[in-house]
Amino acid sequence: MLEGKKILITGGTGSLGQALTKRLLEFDVDTIRILSRNESKQVQMSSEFSDTRLRFLIGDIRDKERLIKSMEDIDIVFHAAALKHVPIIEYNPFEAIKTNVVGSQNVIDASLIQDVEKVICIGTDKAVSPLNTYGATKLLMEKLFISANNYLNIDKSRTKFFAVRYGNVFGSSGSVIPIFLEQAKNNKKITITNEAMTRFSITMDQALDFILDCTINGKAAEIYVPKIKGYSISQIKDVFQESFDNCEIENIGIRPGEKLHEILINEEEMRYCWDLENKFMISNPSVKDDDIIKSYNSNIKKNSNLTSYTSENTEKLSSEEIKKLILEFEK
């Protein structure tokens, strides 16, 4: 499905964008356009990748005209550009609205104008029953993507919009692992928010497998959620104390806008949730069950468990698994 495709990644210089670019280059894709604002990050990425199929486009997703030009002849758009740091967004909420909400609408409008085949936005567990502005803006991004299919003229347009939603990418920029590692290696105290806190965990490789699986098999107007494990902050603390001599702890408390536990699917969404073996699919409430079953050739069943899917009730990683992940991240 990816062979010969022209692809655009908004936010292509970020943690996910770079990993996705690397993965996509393993296929016989025609071109990958990277769209982001900071030229230094693009220069660095271009020298690290050095592949003639890559194009670097300076642009801001707040600028619709730029997006329309950047999507000429594009088949697939991965929309990864976002402001994502919770405390920064709590302090500058309107900037996040401009990028994560207005920018996402611009991505939708430009994709429709350029008749892009598939447009996939990258969502987060923080968008579910959101407590902070980041989560609220990403919830709106998902809503815009799911309802974008309503604008389609089915006879004229081929564009399919859908969302993937997952939890913290282990070791990605801003996550606790790089912060704790830096603190432990420099003999600083590691800064624990709350030992009872839990989070979902997905590795970058798992996230990429999941995104590509959904890109190939996704229909339209759906949110896909992977079945993933979680961890508690006390587990991470224990692993660090076992692995580093004299690793001391500083309890800093939960930061404004942070939840004790994250939710990937809340109780209300569970009513529209379908089990697809390795993942869940949350359908558009306006689509009839029979039509969904038909479009999946009956290889799908409605979820019977209506309890929310949270980082507290999901299976936890073992200490050995956490140690292995930290070792792999350090390499």
Ligand X SMILES: NC(=O)c1ccc[n+]([C@@H]2O[C@H](COP(=O)([O-])OP(=O)(O)OC[C@H]3O[C@@H](n4cnc5c(N)ncnc54)[C@H](OP(=O)(O)O)[C@@H]3O)[C@@H](O)[C@H]2O)c1
- Nearest approach in angstroms of CB 245 to ligand X is 29
Choice among 5, 6, 84, 126 that is catalytic: 126
Q: Specify the residue, 14 or 130, whose C-beta has the smaller distance to ligand X.
A: 14
- Nearest approach in angstroms of CB 169 to ligand X is 4
Give yes or no for a contact between 119 and 160, defined as CB atoms under 8 angstroms apart. Answer: yes
Among 56, 43, 49, 45, CA closest to 10: 56
Position 139 contacts ligand X (CB under 6 A): no
- Nearest approach in angstroms of CB 230 to ligand X is 13
Q: Specify the residue, 221 or 228, whose C-beta has the smaller distance to ligand X.
A: 228
Which residue bears the tokens 């943690």? 15
Near ligand X by CB under 6 A, which window of 32-40, 184-192, 252-260, 278-286?
32-40
CA-CA distance, 211 to 267, in Å (whole number)? 24
Residue closest to ligand X (Cβ): 14
* Three-class secondary structure of residue 34 per DSSP: strand
Position 169 contacts ligand X (CB under 6 A): yes
Binds ligand X by CB under 6 A, chosen from 53, 62, 64, 143:
62
Binds ligand X by CB under 6 A, chosen from 6, 7, 24, 36:
36
Position 37 contacts ligand X (CB under 6 A): yes
What does DSSP say about strands 31-36 and 6-10: parallel, antiparallel, or unpaired?
parallel
Q: Specify the residue, 109 or 293, whose C-beta has the smaller distance to ligand X.
A: 109
Q: How many residues bind ligand X (CB under 6 A)?
A: 31
Position 17 contacts ligand X (CB under 6 A): yes
Binds ligand X by CB under 6 A, chosen from 5, 11, 114, 199:
11
* Three-class secondary structure of residue 143 per DSSP: helix
CA-CA distance, 90 to 128, in Å (whole number)? 17
Residue 119 β-bridge partners? 77, 161
Binds ligand X by CB under 6 A, chosen from 44, 51, 94, 173:
173
Among 124, 326, 166, CA closest to 237: 326
Q: Is 288 a catalytic residue?
A: no
Position 171 contacts ligand X (CB under 6 A): no
CA-CA distance, 67 to 163, in Å (whole number)? 19
Angstrom distances, CA of residue 30 to CA of 59, 112, 237, 297, 329 = 21, 21, 45, 31, 31
Position 84 contacts ligand X (CB under 6 A): yes
Burial class (CB in 10 A: 0-12, 13-18, 19+), 4: exposed
| Contacts of the segment 296-300: beta carbons below 8 A, 24+ positions apart | 296/219, 300/274, 300/275, 300/276
Q: Specify the residue, 135 or 247, whose C-beta has the smaller distance to ligand X.
A: 135
What residues make contact with ligand X under the rule CB under 6 A? 10-11, 13-17, 35-38, 41, 60-62, 80-84, 99, 103, 122, 124, 138, 166, 168-169, 172-173, 175
Active site members: 126
